Chains A and B, each alone.
Chain A
Amino acid sequence: MRPNLHFARSPIRLNVVTPESRGQAPILEMRRISKRFDATQALNDVSLTLYPGEVHALLGENGAGKSTLIKIMTGIHQPDAGQILLDGRPVQIHNAMHAQSLGIVAIYQEPMVFPDLTVAENIFIGHAERNPFMRWGQTYRKAREILALLDVKLDVRMPARGLTLAAQQAVEIAKAISLNARVLIMDEPTASLSAHEVEQLFKLVNTLRERGVAILFISHRLDEVFSIADRVTILRDGQWISTRPRNEVTSELAIREMVGREITDFFAKTPAVRRGELLLSVHNLGKAGAFAGISFDMYRGEVLGFAGLVGARRTDVGLALFGIEPADSGEIVFEGRPCVISSPQQAMQLGIAYVTEDRRQLGLSLPQSITANITLPLLRRYAAAFGLLNFKAEAETAERYKQQLSIRAPNVRVDVGKLSGGNQQKVMLAKWLNTKPKLLILDEPTRGIDVGAKAEVHHIINELAQQGIGIILISSDLPEVLGMSDRVLVMREGRQMGIFDRAEATQERVMAAALGQSPASDEARPAIQEVTL
């Protein structure tokens, strides 16, 4: 395990003073909360206390009850049993608006911005103003003040359309401050952020902490949790497991409590480099406005990691290789033949598959069955006489992958939208494995899935590499990309900063290259240097 990673570290505060020890009164207490949905007991007798000026991490696998707890805190759901105390007084939170007026504000993974409204309006949109008139001067001034407080430079008169995710999150936090939030719930705020942006976010979090805001922080990235949290609460299967000061929690302990079992191969070690023949050569690939000068070779059975911060344009390279957003300069040589990839159909014919980072919006047809999703790219192959689909053959394919990848679902006719994130990820893998790819591009394959599923996905990647499939692994999870890859290509703002062998790919080096700092950037200046032709 690698706790306290360099890239996600906020200023270390050595003397962790727990709020209890300071003798402060809690802001919000959730006492013995239970909640049941139809057959599932989502929460069972869960308690949680938030003190002013603390960052309280909430850990748990998907389905542990974190979301339900948050939704009860923000009034979206009502508890079946238990009590909520605000400043020591019992309250009933009727709805999200009511929660807001009580000072309880939530920020979600996907920021909720209004692209057509100005930044300033976005900050103040939630205010239940009585005055029916807009006071623009005042709105702009106050917005500027709040952003200055957070040390964020944004033009408050700009429409929010086109803001980066990180900027959108800054707007969300400014919104929370404008609402005088006393309890700020951050639900996986870092899932889509690059390490650098995470650092920015944590600065904001620290500012809020100093102002006495209680922050409930939810993340799947343990290292982040350990670097920012004061206390850590762990839930499992709707049950409260533990609440401890941060310095009493180790990754191993946290993982054990989250999953209720030991995970030995959390970051599966890849086998020793087993290079097959040359599979893909990319030379000086570029696309205007996205990336330029990308050059690398890759071999059968190799896992080539793509590391970089968000905005490094790694996904764009993947999309270019898959023909969704074709490159406009450079050469691609696949299996020894130069080729132009201008559509996904062409890429698929070559044997290239791309597993997107966005399961819900780009990867899966949620209201359709597991079977329909898996067979989709090759559907015409399942057509028999008169173009009629062979449903039986389709179901057989799906069953095979369901077993192979241990997709957990009652049967293959279940709608994919009903599966957990991890199982959806496996369906997406199955969908593309079924095309028998020679090159598999995996874009953030473990984002937002729980620890157990993550390990399974890592296993699958290893197995596929063993079978001789070349794998490009794009991941923002640095330990993952380092742990899984034979070599790591680092990008920064559309440029290739270098390729590191497994042995030389340390976190410090990769991170330095991703940030554009020496020494890696010196090596990488002639971007073609890695090409061995």
Chain B
Amino acid sequence: MTQLTSLLRRWETLLLGILLAVVLFNIARSPFYLRIENLVNVFELSIEKIIVALVMTFIIINGEIDLSVASVMGLAACVVARLHADGVAMPLAVLVALLVGLACGAFNGFWVAYVGLPSLAVTLAGLIGYRGAARILLEDKSIGNFPDWFNALGQQPLIGPFPFALILFFVMLIAAIIILQRTAFGRYVYVIGNNKEVARYSGIQVQQVKMKLFIASGLIAALAGILLAARLGAVRGNTAEGFELDIITMVLLGGVSIFGGSGTLTGVALSILIILNLRNGMSLANITGNTQTGVIGALLILSVLLPNLAGQVRSLRNRARPASPALAQVSQGMETSGSSLRP
């Protein structure tokens, strides 16, 4: 098999090892860990993030990034809350919120796919702008008192001990794996992420693919935001703020290249499990949420730093790679998209 995929394989093996270590550590530390309630809880506390991480995986493999997801989550939640407070029927409110998410995604996608702006800049504007819209809707109020069925959606188990969101996540995970690995669309996502000019010269409709991805990202982020509102039972202007950090960390720790073109959902699924179990373990050990965030940040850096260092050690041992100057890729700096700013 080729080196690249075998490297990824090795990366996934490494993730599996880390996961086992974390799980074993948690089992040893806390008797509560293996209880089914706790295991469901492991997922439930971050369920919205991991749903969004799935679509973020597609976007980063495609060579783009969507920094606005957390703001879209917050905005969708605020739309539901505000409409509910204004007396709109809850199902309608949910529908409108989903449409708002879709519109946000389409807006991002339009600028990235059709105008050719760098997604980093566009979604940074979205991150700020959509959050701003959420704040306009709720100002500094907190709105709750949702109908029971809505709260139950986020808080009560649906089948067995599993709540709706968790079931949804697993269905989406399987669907995502199939789409990414087994369909033409998935292949396009990789090829475009790798080099979108090659895709264009192969007759692939690059703009459509990118547009679809951003629309999906907006829609799913909105769905996640609504689920978050249901689980929390109340919404504020800053709901879901900063979630993008966790979401991107999950994807990158899973071995997806920030430059696009490579990565697998298997890796992302493993990294999600690691992060969730780590957080759970830290919670069981009474480590505060703030410190947990710091640990996740460190994990994000280490997930890229360690393979680099390993690579450097290896290349020091045999300083011998015949690398042609044309082959040498920009290995540092951000090249998240082949921007039209740089023809």
B281 interfacial contact with A, CB 8 Å: no
Inter-chain contact A367/B261, CB cutoff 8 Å: yes
Q: Is the CB of B184 within 8 A of A387?
A: yes
Is B194 in contact with A367, judged by CB distance below 8 angstroms?
yes
How near does chain B come to A132, taking the closest CB pair, in angstroms? 24
Partner of A379, one of B184, B261, B322: B184
Q: Knowing A77-B320, A415-B2 touch, does A364 contact B198 (C-beta < 8 A)? A: yes
Q: Provide the A330-357 mask, 1 if CB < 8 A to any CB of B, else 0.
A: 0000000000000011011000001010
CB distance A110 to B325 under 8 Å? yes
Residues of B within 8 A of A414 (CB): 2
**Smallest CB–CB gap between A235 and chain B, Å?**
15
**B117 CB within 8 Å of chain A:** no
Q: Which of B198, B205, B324 contacts A365 (CB 8 A)?
A: B198
In the complex, whether A17 has a CB less than 8 A from a CB of chain B is no
User: Which B residues touch A136, using CB under 8 A?
Assistant: none
- Write the chain B residue with the least CB distance to A383: B184
The yes or no answer to B188 lying at the interface (CB within 8 A) is yes
List 17 A-B residue pairs with CB atoms under 8 Å apart, sorted by A's residue number: A36-B320, A42-B322, A67-B322, A77-B320, A344-B201, A345-B203, A347-B203, A362-B201, A363-B198, A363-B201, A365-B194, A372-B191, A377-B204, A379-B184, A383-B184, A415-B2, A415-B4
A354 & B325 in contact (Cβ 8 Å cutoff): no
A389 to B185, CA, bound (A): 10
Interface presence of B292 (CB below 8 A): no
Give A371 Cβ to nearest chain B Cβ, in Å: 11
Residues of B within 8 A of A77 (CB): 319-320, 322
Q: Are A369 and B2 in contact (CB under 8 A)?
A: yes
List residues of chain A with CB within 8 A of the CB of B203: 344-345, 347-348, 377
Q: Given A37-B320, A324-B200, A348-B203, does the pair A366, B182 have CB atoms closer than 8 Å? A: no
Q: Is A360's CB under 8 angstroms from B178's CB?
A: no
Q: Does B1 reach chain A (CB closer than 8 Å)?
A: yes
Please tell me if A254 contacts chain B, counting CB pairs below 8 Å: no
B290 interface contact, C-beta 8 A? no
Nearest CB in chain A to that of B324: its residue: A67
A364–B191 Cα distance when bound, in Å, is 9
**B46 interfacial by beta-carbon distance below 8 Å:** no
Across the interface, which residues of A come within 8 angstroms of B327, CB to CB?
417
Are B178 and A388 within 8 A (Cβ)?
A: yes
Determine which of B190, B322, B326 lies in contact with A368 in the assembled complex, contact meaning CB atoms within 8 Å.
Answer: B190
**In the complex, what distance in Å separates the CA atom of A314 from the CA atom of B195?**
24
A438 adjacent to chain B (CB < 8 Å): no
Q: Chain A contacts of B195 at CB under 8 A?
A: 361, 365-366
- With both chains docked as a complex, state the minimum distance between the C-beta of A190 and any C-beta of chain B, in angstroms: 16
**Candidate in A356, A366, A377 with the most chain B CB atoms within 10 angstroms:** A366
Complex contact A383–B194 (CB within 8 A): no
Give the residues from 406 to 427 in chain A that come closer than 8 angstroms, CB to CB, to chain B: 413-415, 417-418
Q: A372-B187, A387-B183 are in contact. List 6 more A-B contacts (CB 8 A).
A: A78-B319, A367-B4, A367-B194, A367-B262, A376-B202, A379-B188
Tell me whether A110 and B326 are in contact (CB under 8 A): yes
- B197 at the binding interface (Cβ < 8 Å): yes
Among the listed B2, B183, B201, B261, which residue makes an inter-chain contact with A324, where contact means beta carbons less than 8 Å apart?
B201
- Closest B residue to A415 by beta carbon equals B2
A379-434 residues with Cβ-Cβ distance < 8 A to B are: 379-380, 382-383, 387-389, 413-415, 417-418, 431
Inter-chain CA distance A418–B2, complex, in Å, is 9
Given A345-B203, A377-B202, A431-B202, A361-B320 contact (CB < 8 Å) = no
A159 to chain B, nearest CB (A): 13
A-contact bits for B226-263, CB 8 A (1 contact / 0 none)? 00000000000000000000000000000000000110
**A345 and B188 contacting across the interface, CB-CB below 8 Å:** no
- Docked pose: A394 CA to B139 CA in angstroms: 56
B184 lies within 8 A of A389 (CB): yes
- Interface residues in A70-89 by Cβ distance below 8 A to B read 71, 77-78
Interface string of B91-115 (1 = CB under 8 A from A): 0000000000000000000000000
Are the C-beta atoms of A344 and B200 separated by less than 8 Å?
Answer: yes
**Cα separation A68 to B322 with both chains bound (whole Å):** 8
Question: Is A108 on the interface with B (CB-CB < 8 A)?
Answer: yes
Does the CB pair B198–A345 fall under 8 Å?
A: no
Give the CA-CA distance A153 to B4 in the complex, in Å.
46
Interface residue from A362, A363, A380 paired with B184 (Cβ < 8 Å): A380
CB-CB under 8 A from B197, the residues of chain A are 361-362
A345 and B182 contact, Cβ closer than 8 Å, known pairs A364-B198, A367-B262, A418-B2: no
Residues of B with C-beta under 8 A to A365? 190-191, 194-195, 198-199
In the complex, chain A residues whose CB is within 8 Å of the CB of B178: 388
- Segment 105-157 of B: residues with Cβ below 8 Å from A: none
Q: Are B4 and A356 in contact (CB under 8 A)?
A: no
Give B215 Cβ to nearest chain A Cβ, in Å. Answer: 18
User: In the complex, what residues of A have CB within 8 A of residue B204's CB?
Assistant: 376-377
Residue A38, interface by CB 8 Å: yes
B2, A362: Cβ atoms under 8 Å?
no
Smallest CB gap from A187: residue in B: B325
Q: Considering residues B188, B200, B203, which has the most beta carbons from chain A within 10 angstroms of its beta carbon? A: B203
**Contact of B187 (CB < 8 Å), options: A324, A379, A415:** A379
Q: Evaluate contact between B183 and A383: CB separation under 8 angstroms.
A: yes
Q: Which residues of B contact A67 (CB under 8 A)?
A: 322, 324
Q: Judge whether A388 and B322 touch: CB under 8 Å.
A: no
- A379–B204 Cα gap in the complex (Å)? 9
Shortest Cβ distance from residue A360 to the other chain B in the assembled complex, whole angstroms: 6
Chain A residue with Cβ nearest B181: A389
Minimal Cβ-Cβ distance residue in A for B192 = A365
Nearest B residue (CB) for A359: B198
Closest residue of B by beta carbon distance from A380: B184
Q: Which residue of A lies closest to B323 (CB)?
A: A76
- State the CA gap A415–B182 with chains docked (Å): 19
Assembled-state Cα–Cα distance A413/B3 (Å): 11
Find chain B residues with CB under 8 A from A389 CB.
Answer: 182-184, 187
Q: Closest A residue to B2 by CB, please name it.
A: A415
Shortest Cβ distance from residue A214 to the other chain B in the assembled complex, whole angstroms? 22
Contact A354-B201, Cβ < 8 Å, known A360-B326, A367-B194, A376-B191: yes
In the bound complex, residues from chain B placing their C-beta under 8 Å from that of A387 are: 183-185
**Which chain A positions have C-beta within 8 A of B185?**
387
Please state if A413 and B1 are interface contacts (CB–CB under 8 Å).
Answer: yes
- Name the residue on B nearest A319 (C-beta): B201
Cβ contacts under 8 Å, A363 to chain B = 198, 201
Closest to B178 in A: A388
| C-alpha gap A418/B204 in the complex (Å) | 24
Distance from A268 Cβ to chain B, minimum over Cβ atoms (Å) = 27
Q: Which residues of B1-30 are within 8 A (CB) of A?
A: 1-4
How far apart sit A252 and B59, CA to CA, in the bound complex (Å)? 54
Q: Which residues of the partner chain A approach B1 to less than 8 Å between Cβ atoms?
A: 413
Q: Which residues of A contact B261 (CB under 8 A)?
A: 367
Instruction: Scan B299-343; emit 1 where CB is below 8 A from any A CB, else 0.
Output: 000000000000000000011111011110000000000000000
Could you say which residues of chain A place their CB within 8 Å of the CB of B320?
A: 36-38, 77
- Residues of A close to B262: CB separation below 8 A: 367
